[in-house]
Structure 1
Amino acid sequence: MRYLKEISTVLVCMFFSVNATCQTKASSVTETETSVEVKKKKKKRKKYKLSKIDLSHWSVTTPELNHKGKATNIEPPEILEYATDKRLIPYMYNDSIKGGLVFYAYPSNATTANTKYSRSELREQMVPGDNNTNWTFKQGGTMKGVLKVDKISKDSEGKYHKVIIMQIHGRLTNEQRDLIGQKDNNAPPILKIYWHKGKIRVKTKVLKNLEATGTELLHEDAWGDDDGYTFDQKVGHKKFTLEVKVSEGKMVIVLNGYDYKVYEDIHMEKWGVFENYFKAGNYFQSRDEGAYAKVKYYKLEVSH
């Protein structure tokens, strides 16, 4: 009997020992599985990114007609709700995987004054909601963007369409407008930066008559187009950095931090008569049926 009791005791001890071990292993496996699941969830969360571009000093024009039959324009503070604004969602939206802000444009009837092309493009507003406060070259300014032309259509010959991705647009003050008897405040763009055939091309304005002074300078027909300049490096559909720096009598365009084009001449000096504002986005340069472009901005900063 004593022998049977000892065997029984040993078996009971073995049972509890094995059971404890199994529970420990099961607990360990459960903890490991939970840990793996948490890590997977964290990885999944990291994939979603939102644009960090501050839109509080920008308005946007899109290729959609508004109720007045003109191109839709959204100003601050409404533009800050672009992610849920049905008017903007098709033309200005987040790439939540890459963290970029996409501008989509195609040929539409929603064009603005003095152009046949449509756009999904930002317009700088130094004072949110006000187009009457702008800056001169003497005051200076810098615009820097990290972007890429994500997708763009081709023409009937298999060549890519082109798109303007940055601008500096001139503007008449109300006094200048009235002085020359013009109906609006529009002045020529001193700078247009194109994505063209996978390269960055720059166009600016030059005076037709270098002796022009005073009110002569205010008329749009006093200014013509230069021959343009194309940077050697090809950006294609890859991400690149573009910076525009202006100061009194000078304008500098910098591609990827090391490739420069400098304008410092009489044309820049006399341009000082105008006010200006920055533009950035997708000003699509085609009327071909089925044509389109998507320009993606990862960063966009302006300072004065």
Structure 2
Amino acid sequence: MLRGASPKLVAAATAATVVLTGAVIAASSTAAQAAPAVTRAAAPKLSTTVAPGGNFNLSVWELQEPVGSPGSPRTIPSAQLQGAKGYQDSYFYTDTKDGAMTFWAPEKGVTTPNSNYARSELREMNTDGSSADWKLAGSHQLQATLRVDSVTDHVCVGQIHLGTGGSSTKPLVELYYYKNGNIVLGEENSPSGGQTTHQIANVPVGTQWSYTIAVSGGNTINLTVNGKTTKYAIPSSFNAYHMYFKAGSYNQSSSSSTTKGARVAFYALTVKHS
């Protein structure tokens, strides 16, 4: 007992010491039992200071833009798209905030002969510069991570298009994003036309999401959106046709406005065939 201290004060001090000591022991025990911190590797960041060709492999793409002469939009070949100093302009550029490869397609713009809508869109090519034109047999895959920043009504962000093998200029499938966030697959009924749509998911405007459009076995479309896969049979009427992929911003509405339209930003884009 401390000299001059009352028994009550000593008891209180002793109790406080016990409480504090217990708190320290408990804290030490909790820290010792805590799981070690897990360090996750950061996803590769896109450069904000290079053209899209500096971040993405554009050796298998050419670009169609919503400018040019009527029925003949400007086309930028793969050789001009590639590399850190590759082609970019107001319709196709690197977002200086996050490095995304960005496509802008206004409501008013030059269209292809078989469409009423403007586009800033990549068309699949072969590495030798010829147009991609693959058979349905085998495995074919288009993968993308993207964000739709603005859209007037809806926009096609990826598609499988018919190539040689017949006179049709239709797509096989188109993946649409709507202004309310709905993601919808448009499946062509036959080379003559007519499209059946399937509601797939909903992602708010400005939110990143991912898709994979794949062909397997020569007769099945495998669509994966944010990890969920759905399958669709390919009608036999398409068997004679070869195919190719497209990706970007293919606006699905038109008007006299050059300020309204669809702006789509890609964070990853790859093609695989086997």
Interval containing the TM-score (normalised by the shorter chain): 0.7 to 0.9
Find the partner of 1:281 among 217, 237, 248.
248
Find the partner of 1:171 among 163, 180, 196.
163
The alpha carbon displacement at 1:288 in A equals 2.3
- Preserved CA contact (<8 Å) 1:199 1:236: no
Structure 1 unmatched runs, 5+: 1-45, 154-160, 177-181, 208-219
How does 1:50-129 map onto structure 2 within 5 Å? 50=50, 51=52, 52-65=55-68, 70-80=72-82, 85=87, 88-129=88-129
CA distance in 2, matches of 1:145, 1:109: 25
How does 1:174-185 map onto structure 2 within 5 Å? 176=166
- Preserved CA contact (<8 Å) 1:244 1:253: yes
Residue identity matched to 1:115: S
- Cα–Cα, structure 1 residues 81 and 237, in superposed 2: closer, same or farther, change >3 Å? same
Find the partner of 1:224 among 170, 187, 194.
194
The alpha carbon displacement at 1:137 in A equals 1.5
Tell me the residue number matched to 1:195.
Answer: 177
The C-alpha deviation readout for 1:92-140, integer Å capped at 9, x for no partner, is: 0001321210001113341102111110000000244312x41121033
Tell me the residue number matched to 2:138.
Answer: 139
Structure 2 unmatched runs, 5+: 1-45
- Higher CA-based Rg: 1
Q: What SS is found at the alignment partner of 1:230?
A: strand
Tell me the residue number matched to 1:40.
Answer: none
CA distance in 1, matches of 2:100, 2:187: 28
Q: Is 1:271 matched up with 2:241?
A: no
Tell me the residue number matched to 2:187.
Answer: 204
CA distance in 2, matches of 1:289, 1:108: 5
CA distance in 2, matches of 1:97, 1:201: 29
Percent identity, aligned pairs only, is: 25
Q: What SS is found at the alignment partner of 2:175?
A: strand
Q: What SS is found at the alignment partner of 1:273?
A: coil
- Preserved CA contact (<8 Å) 2:146 2:210: yes
What's the TM-score, normalizing by structure 2?
0.73
The alpha carbon displacement at 1:47 in A equals 8.1
